[in-house]
């Protein structure tokens, strides 16, 4: 199947990044959200991010102009029904994602491929609430989407080979690299990354090191570009906690137990950069550790 049109569900951090790269690759993109303000902000952010790419000579001004013309927005989920490929990038809650797919089903073309950008939720379970589990798979971009080169492609138990090949062709057209992952909690990246972040929070919780010493140790001692606590703030502590809960529940192993301190930060609403406070306080000119 030749994919020409892409529907993106959710105009947040991941959704606007997906729309950005899809439009630059020449796809017709339709983005939906429940909020017009979210859609307007997404378009504004995409324009700013593309302008930055132009200033750094990553893309030509003509490519930016052409890409922006490829993106449309709508408040009606049903409008996405005519898309060849739909990528769900809503909040990381299984009940929300399932409800979206159930609402979308009556409006879909028979050949439309459904995918989810979920970072950890079972693709097989999400596919089971649709009428096309064979045409359903995980399409997991890394954040920030325009910068990161990897895309995890996750097959559910029923995903057919034609669907995988069609999604792999999209990744190739984006000039990104596809990693094929099996449908187990966390897939590849988060199965490895999130326990490391959780262990860094335990290291802080147990007083082994401060926020700064933990992050500096991993940056200078392991050559990581960003410390684990700084990275957690960037991802969102609520997202980190949600993924750790999926790993803990799905694999039934105590080594995946979320650190109580991570839970406490989320309960406080200190979710990282998006709320201006997490393991660092971002309200001043430079981030300041909160512990």
For residue 92, say whether it is annotated as part of any ligand binding site.
yes
For residue 274, say whether it is annotated as part of any ligand binding site.
yes
Query: For this structure, is 140 an active site residue?
Result: yes
- Out of 20, 190, 198, 230, the active site residue is 190
Longest dimension (CA), the chain: 56
For residue 12, say whether it is annotated as part of any ligand binding site.
yes
Q: DSSP class of residue 84? A: S
Query: For this structure, is 190 an active site residue?
Result: yes
Residues 6 or more apart whose CB falls under 8 angstroms from that of 213 comprise none
Query: For this structure, is 245 an active site residue?
Result: no
For residue 284, say whether it is annotated as part of any ligand binding site.
no
Question: Is residue 21 a contact partner of residue 112, using CB atoms and an 8 Å limit?
Answer: no
- Out of 88, 152, 198, 230, the active site residue is 152
- Out of 16, 117, 119, 120, the active site residue is 119
For residue 62, say whether it is annotated as part of any ligand binding site.
no
DSSP string computed for 106-149: GG--TTPEEEE--SSS-HHHHHHTSS-GGGEEEEEE-SSTTT--
- Out of 83, 122, 140, 230, the active site residue is 140
For residue 221, say whether it is annotated as part of any ligand binding site.
no
For residue 13, say whether it is annotated as part of any ligand binding site.
yes
**Closest-CA residue to 250 (of 182, 202, 178):** 182
Query: For this structure, is 102 an active site residue?
Result: no
For residue 119, say whether it is annotated as part of any ligand binding site.
yes
For residue 143, say whether it is annotated as part of any ligand binding site.
yes
Pull the structure tokens for residue 171: 């990744």
What residues are designated binding site? 10-15, 33, 92, 97, 119, 143, 274
What residues are designated binding site for NAD(+)? 10-15, 33, 92, 97, 119, 143, 274
Catalytic residues: 119, 140, 152, 190
């Amino acid at each position: 199947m030749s994919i020409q049109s892409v529907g993106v569900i959710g105009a947040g951090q991941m959704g606007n990044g997906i729309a950005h790269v899809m439009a630059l690759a020449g796809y017709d993109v339709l983005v939906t959200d429940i909020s017009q303000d979210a859609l307007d902000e997404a378009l504004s952010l995409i324009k700013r991010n593309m302008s930055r790419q132009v200033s750094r000579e990553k893309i030509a001004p003509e490519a930016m102009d052409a890409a922006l013309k490829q993106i449309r927005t709508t408040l009606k989920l049903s409008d996405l029904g005519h898309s060849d490929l739909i990528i769900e990038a809503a909040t990381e809650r299984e009940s929300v994602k399932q409800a979206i797919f159930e609402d979308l089903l009556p409006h879909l073309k028979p050949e439309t491929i459904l995918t989810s950008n979920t970072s950890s939720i079972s693709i097989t379970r999400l596919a089971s609430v649709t009428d096309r589990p064979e045409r359903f798979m995980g399409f997991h971009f890394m954040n920030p989407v325009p910068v990161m080169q990897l895309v995890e492609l996750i097959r559910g138990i029923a995903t057919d080979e034609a669907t995988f090949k069609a999604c792999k062709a999209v990744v190739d057209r984006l000039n990104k690299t596809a990693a094929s992952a099996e449908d187990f909690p966390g897939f590849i990246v988060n199965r490895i990354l999130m326990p490391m972040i959780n262990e860094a929070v335990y290291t802080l919780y147990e007083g082994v090191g401060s926020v700064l010493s933990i992050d500096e140790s991993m940056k200078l001692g392991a050559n990581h570009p960003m410390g684990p606590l700084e990275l957690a703030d960037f991802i969102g502590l609520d997202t980190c906690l949600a993924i750790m809960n999926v790993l803990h529940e799905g694999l039934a192993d105590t080594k995946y137990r979320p650190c109580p301190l991570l839970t406490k930060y989320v309960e406080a609403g200190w979710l990282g950069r998006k709320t201006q406070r997490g393991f660092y306080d971002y309200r001043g000119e430079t981030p300041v550790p909160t512990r």
